[in-house]
Structure 1
Amino acid sequence: MSKLILFSVIALLLLHMQNVVCRGIPMLDKMKMKEDVVNMQQPIPLDKLQPQDHLDAVKMEQDGMINKDFHKEAFLGNHEEIEDDAPDIAESKLKDIFYKVDTDSDGELSESEMEAWIMDKIQEHFDHAMEENKEIFKHLDPQNKGYVDWKEYYKHFLLAKGHPVEKAEKHIVDYDQIDLTDIERDQLVRYKFRWSEADQPPADNRLTELEFFAFRHPEQSNITMQNMLNTLFNSLDTNEDKLLTEKEFVALPPGEVEDDEQKKMDQDWQEDRKKEFREVIDKDHDGVATIKELTEYLDPRNPQQAKSEALNLIQMMDDNKNGRISLQEVMKHKDVFITSKIVDVKRNLHDEF
């Protein structure tokens, strides 16, 4: 009799546990959904949410302008803020970078050391961007739908700007709850254009994680690289033969020359482009740039980029012409990296992609 009672108690306990588990699953789901809703309402810092305003480690901007800041960006890696430091601190950081690049500790930077450093910095930049994109996308898509639609992004943009959740949710429906500033409206127009560029066919106004990566980091996306190539050829290839001659590449943008100073600036600009075309882009020196040559030139992941950039940096700083860079030569030419005087005293920001 006691065994029967014991079995009955065990059976009742098992049945109770099963009911608890069955009831617990929906409860956990509800808790997860509630957590997701809360997560959606938490603002992401604006600098993480908005797409990058320039192409890191890309030699040319979308309008065909040469990106001279590339020399500094490729060499400094994550030390771009060095130009905002006081001169003594900036020099100290630059020396620190020198000793890190000088892996054999012989007091000079060889071409191979600089090439390896540049490749490492570019890869570091890419890896960080990919990981950051994954975290931000997860925040925007807490329910794992596999996509983020424009209104979801719009809502988070408003939250990042400090607008209340209730108003943000209403605004994306009737667009009349929040009085946006002109700057905010301009940002949203530009971001929507970028969003549409990243939204691959069939366009649905939703971005997958890969498309969202293209939206935030066009410099690392095959999607936007192809768009950039198309734009370059559409604007520069006047005879539409899918080849760029040196003449087409260095042609001045439309507009009248106003004075001698402007004329001198235009001449310098053309000379820079001729040098870039002859020494870097036109690999076979046949006088024309093919789509393949331009793709290799633009793609920062191409190892040839690091090699050509290392050679370029040596040419700029190797005063004694021994094919290597000493610390003294780096410090003598520190303006190349710290103040970018090869372009201007002010920092030369890239065009929006």
Structure 2
Amino acid sequence: MRLYLVAGFLLVGLVQSFTVEKEHDRVLQDIPLSHKEHDDGTHDYDHEAFLGEEEAAEFNELDPEESVRRLALIVDKIDSDNDGLITVEEMQEWIKQSQARYVDEDTEKQWENYRQATDGQKDTLDWHEYREAVYGFLDHEPEGDVIEEGFSYRDMEARDQRRFSLADVDKDGRLTKLEFQSFLHPEHADHMRDIVVTETFEDIDKDKDGKITLQEYIGDMFKGSSEGAEEPEWVVSEREMFTKQRDRDGNGYLDVEEVKAWIVPPDFDHSEAEAKHLVFEADEDQDSKLTKEEILNNYDLFVGSQATDFGEALYRHDEF
């Protein structure tokens, strides 16, 4: 079973240089987050999907003995009852804590970037301030827009404004830090789930005809192999998944409700799913629990998972 999970769904946020991020993650189960095959035996998929290419490269250069030492310390933290065994429940709780920490830290970082841009004089953010910081450069473009590789900054601005409005719960035209967090990470706010579905649908529906075909579904995940080469096994599996599970009414395409059932499945807890996945993969004696030795023996698996906060915990020197 392949589980493709991501903690954060960010289209555009306030970044250090106030530039627009074109690439964004999805809150999707079963969508590859890397061009690497997930089960190719190297875990390059996990490293690039969860660490990013730069962080994955840094990981490859980290001294093996030091990284294993740090992972061992993380295992001690996961073992909340100190019995030497990691249960699914303990792993799930650790993943939840890691996820919450990531969201809080990212929000704080982006919020401080905004405060620095306004000399720290305000504790709320309105759309015009955000728009000027992120999209103000468009006002000086002769064509009124910038198109890069088919990507329109004007379209992204419109999407951001729609999301900004939805995050503004009290409708006072300004975002508090908590509302800003919902804007940055809508997948973690119940009232923002529909915008996650809408944005995902719009991204995949390339011809903008209001439906997602099999070609669009596969094309969003896989850009194709060299001519004559066979498709990876996971692509073949996804084609079958589209026909047998995603396309519930069998009409050959996905509508918004079918996409919603796919990316926001009812009663699905991705932290629980990831915890079960990790325990299953590393449980060498099949007792449904993990020892420290089993985790360290599967080192590559864990540094590419949410259990180590996408590997970032390995680099937090103050924790060790």
Q: TM-score range by the shorter chain?
A: 0.5 to 0.7
* Residue equivalent to 2:237: 271
Q: Which amino acid aligns with 1:46?
A: Q
Separation of aligned partners in 2, 1:88 and 1:138: 40
Separation of aligned partners in 2, 1:249 and 1:113: 40
Separation of aligned partners in 2, 1:257 and 1:274: 19
Q: Which amino acid aligns with 1:117?
A: W
Give per-residue Cα distances to partners, 1:241-300, cap 9 Å, x unaligned. Answer: 99x9xx969963398765453x232x3234368689999x9xxxxxx99677446449xx
Q: Which moved more, 1:87-96 or 1:227-236?
A: 227-236
1:218 shift after superposition: 4.5
Secondary structure (helix, strand or coil) at the match of 1:46 reads: coil
Change in CA separation of 1:125 and 1:334 when aligned onto 2, cut-off 3 Å: same
2:161 to 190, 196, 202: 196
Indicate if the aligned counterparts of 2:88 and 2:276 stay in contact, CA closer than 8 A. yes
1:103 shift after superposition: 1.8
Indicate if the aligned counterparts of 1:46 and 1:157 stay in contact, CA closer than 8 A. no
Change in CA separation of 1:188 and 1:108 when aligned onto 2, cut-off 3 Å: same
Secondary structure (helix, strand or coil) at the match of 2:269 reads: helix
Indicate if the aligned counterparts of 2:283 and 2:290 stay in contact, CA closer than 8 A. yes
2:281 to 299, 310, 316: 316
Q: Which amino acid aligns with 2:126?
A: V
Separation of aligned partners in 2, 1:192 and 1:156: 12
Q: Residues 240-279 of structure 1 correspond to what in structure 2 (within 5 A)? A: 252-253=218-219, 258-261=226-229, 263-265=230-232, 267-271=233-237
Separation of aligned partners in 1, 2:227 and 2:298: 32
- Greater gyration radius: 1
Change in CA separation of 1:272 and 1:332 when aligned onto 2, cut-off 3 Å: farther
Indicate if the aligned counterparts of 1:198 and 1:214 stay in contact, CA closer than 8 A. no
1:196 shift after superposition: 3.1
2:78 to 92, 96, 101: 101
1:328 to 293, 296, 306: 293
Q: Give the alignment's TM-score, normalised by structure 2.
A: 0.54
1:220 shift after superposition: 3.5
Q: Residues 1-353 of structure 1 correspond to what in structure 2 (within 5 A)? A: 46=16, 54-55=24-25, 58-60=27-29, 65-67=31-33, 83=59, 85-140=62-117, 144=122, 146-150=124-128, 152-153=129-130, 156=133, 192=157, 195-200=160-165, 208-209=175-176, 212-221=180-189, 225-232=193-200, 235=204, 252-253=218-219, 258-261=226-229, 263-265=230-232, 267-271=233-237, 293-294=261-262, 296-297=264-265, 304-338=269-303
Change in CA separation of 1:256 and 1:103 when aligned onto 2, cut-off 3 Å: closer
Secondary structure (helix, strand or coil) at the match of 2:106 reads: helix
Stretches of structure 2 that go unaligned for 5 or more consecutive residues are 1-13, 247-253, 306-320
Separation of aligned partners in 2, 1:296 and 1:172: 34
Secondary structure (helix, strand or coil) at the match of 2:98 reads: helix
Separation of aligned partners in 2, 1:249 and 1:105: 50
Q: Which amino acid aligns with 2:16?
A: L
Number of residue-to-residue matches in the alignment: 253
1:308 shift after superposition: 1.8
Q: Which amino acid aligns with 1:200?
A: S
Q: Give the alignment's TM-score, normalised by structure 1.
A: 0.50
Indicate if the aligned counterparts of 2:47 and 2:304 stay in contact, CA closer than 8 A. no
Secondary structure (helix, strand or coil) at the match of 2:218 reads: coil
1:330 shift after superposition: 1.6
Q: Which amino acid aligns with 1:217?
A: H
1:224 shift after superposition: 5.6
Secondary structure (helix, strand or coil) at the match of 1:200 reads: helix
Indicate if the aligned counterparts of 1:51 and 1:216 stay in contact, CA closer than 8 A. no
1:322 shift after superposition: 1.0
Indicate if the aligned counterparts of 1:107 and 1:326 stay in contact, CA closer than 8 A. yes
Change in CA separation of 1:272 and 1:309 when aligned onto 2, cut-off 3 Å: farther
Separation of aligned partners in 2, 1:295 and 1:264: 24
Indicate if the aligned counterparts of 1:52 and 1:217 stay in contact, CA closer than 8 A. no
Separation of aligned partners in 1, 2:65 and 2:159: 40
Identify the structure with the greater helix proportion: 1
Separation of aligned partners in 1, 2:188 and 2:71: 26
Separation of aligned partners in 2, 1:278 and 1:318: 31
1:307 shift after superposition: 1.6
**CA RMSD across the alignment:** 5.5
Separation of aligned partners in 2, 1:311 and 1:274: 24
Q: Which amino acid aligns with 1:226?
A: D
